[in-house]
Amino acid sequence: MKVALVSAFLEDEVYENRLNDEFMEKVICNEDHFYHRIAKSLTQNGIEPVVHYLSQEKETKRFIHKYGHEIIRIPVKKYPFIHESIVYSPELIKNIQNDFDICNFVSGYYVKYKIPDMFDYTVSKLHKKMPIIARWAGGNHKWLLPIRKEIKKTSLKKCDKIICSGQEEIKNLENIFQIPNKKILEIMNPIDMTVFKFREKQIASNKLRLDVNYEYLLYVGRFAKKKGIEQILQVFKKLNNNDTNLKIILIGDGPLLDQIKNFIKENHLENDVILPGRLTHEITCYYYNISSVLLNIPPLSGGLANVIIEAIASKLPIIATNVGASKDYVGKKFNNGILINSINELELEKAIIEIIGDRKKYKNSNENMLKKFTFDFFGETLKQTYMELLNK
């Protein structure tokens, strides 16, 4: 069985770089993005996945990821239209129709981007020609104008299965887009449990050469608007004035990097903010082990963040916003963290103080929950889904 794993994003919606050959080989082929973890889980179950990236580069080109699966960079056509460009790719349709059994969209945020976008275009071309699986990640539907909502509803209804995470997203699919429950599959992105796991803080300290005596706050992700990183820095600055034993680690990169560096310099935090850059999972996992709490406070729902799954596996307490699937997996009832209201700096400050004051209380790791995040569980579930769709 051969499956096309398709990203509906152009590079400028995800990366600051064009997907030229050098960037593909140095970054894309070596990153641990969940697209490639999905591919790895399928490979382990005897399925041949190929990850498709859309690009304004003019040449279709094939690459090999470090996990062993193939990546194809597909050129798109882009035409200005009112305030949004129309994007489509006959090359993508031709490639999928000729070589694949199933089209599985792995990007989930297409539901709140351009209308019509690559998702709508691809679904319209492949409908009834092969099974199509969509991914809904971003349960907030309020940004959709009526005409946009109808276009999305039409596209989603044409899909044979829609993957999502969390009860809020399931309810939105059922109630807002009238998707029958039998078409919805709740499943989380897989992570490598041999990488993200509990380790003693001293082991991580030795690996990273960081002082074990400090309390470290941790942020992992894009340095971008609507991620909550600006509020995190403001709260850290306030706490740091009263607690010299506190530091913060910011892992990642993005458009706010220069702004963050200026904030650090202006507030004389050079010795208190650690910026390791963009890291592989083999290194990132140790930062989870040395830290006291993970901060993940985006104001909008985006499914269940991968960093939350990684923190749960590492037994690292979490502070998350009370949106989307986070509330189904994080909170005091799970003994693994605290939920706060969106972009509430006072609640964030209080939550940090509470967790640092009693970390053991929030280090519970539910083994049944962790099974849902494994490569085996994800791959077996998708394989069964594929077989059911192909045999209909």
pLDDT category at 166 given cuts 50, 70, 90 is: confident
What single DSSP character describes residue 324?
Answer: T
- Asked if residue 264 lies in contact with residue 188, where contact means CB atoms within 8 angstroms, the answer is no
* 171 contacts: CB under 8 Å, gap ≥ 6: none
Structural domains of the chain ordered from first start: 2-190+374-390 (3.40.50.2000), 201-370 (3.40.50.2000)
Instruction: Check residue 22 and give its pLDDT.
Output: 95
Lowest mean pLDDT segment, chosen from 131-135, 236-240, 247-251, 355-359? 355-359
* pLDDT of 141 strictly over 60: no
Q: What is the pLDDT of residues 264-277, one digit of tens each?
A: 999 999 999 999 99
Alpha carbon distance 110, 117 (integer Å): 7
Confidence (pTM): 0.90
Instruction: Check residue 139 and give its pLDDT.
Output: 52
Instruction: Check residue 82 and give its pLDDT.
Output: 66
**Distance from chain centroid for Cα 282:** 17
Quote the tokens at residue 203: 């082991």
14 compared with 89, residue with greater pLDDT = 89
Helix (H) or strand (E) holding 378: helix 375-390
Instruction: Check residue 169 and give its pLDDT.
Output: 86
Give the whole-number percent of the chain exceeding pLDDT 90. 70
Q: What is the pLDDT of residues 352-380, one digit of tens each?
A: 999 999 877 887 767 788 889 999 999 99
Summarize the confidence of residues 136-164 as an average pLDDT: 79
Instruction: Check residue 247 and give its pLDDT.
Output: 98
Through-space distance between the first and last CA atoms of the chain, rounded to whole angstroms: 16
